[in-house]
Amino acid sequence: MDAVDRQLIQALRENGRASYAELGRLVGLSGPSVTDRINRLETAGVITGYRATVNSAKLGLGVTALIGISLSDAADHEDVAQRLSELPEIEDCWFIAGDDSFMLKVRAPDVDGLESIIRRLSGTKGVSRTRTTIVLSTKWENRVGELPEQV
């Protein structure tokens, strides 16, 4: 991966809807050359997808929470991860080091909805404890930072 690839990735992180022509103007390449580079980055697994960023509150999901999950001693983290993937309210799931095994970001319509999610999580085989932090406000999310030189 060279400096042009990094520029293309940065541009797509900032605007995933940019056309190949726009990207080409930005990096000084033709549209077909940009297409080839982006296809190569996708094939290599560097670019893993494109998505729309939405306002969850406007979709009726006004409560965001971060939930730490601790596993029972006999639990297999891959089995628990599979069970967690079946809960559509979980937006992000990270396997982490520390007191908890997983950290989840969930969205719910209200506190009652969040309580329902927590009850389902607590009843999930392999989960011994949950620890919930309710987000009061979001200062930023999905931040696009600069890529390091050595990517």
Give the tens place of pLDDT for each residue, 40-97.
999 999 999 998 888 999 999 999 999 999 999 999 999 999 999 999 999 999 999 9
**Residue 22 φ then ψ, to 5°:** -60, -45
Distance CA 54, CA 59 (A): 8
**102 strand-pairing partners:** 69, 95
Residue 151 pLDDT > 70: no
Domains defined for the chain, CATH in brackets: 3-43 (1.10.10.10), 56-134 (3.30.70.920)
Q: State pTM to two decimals.
A: 0.83
CB 151 within 8 A of CB 6: yes
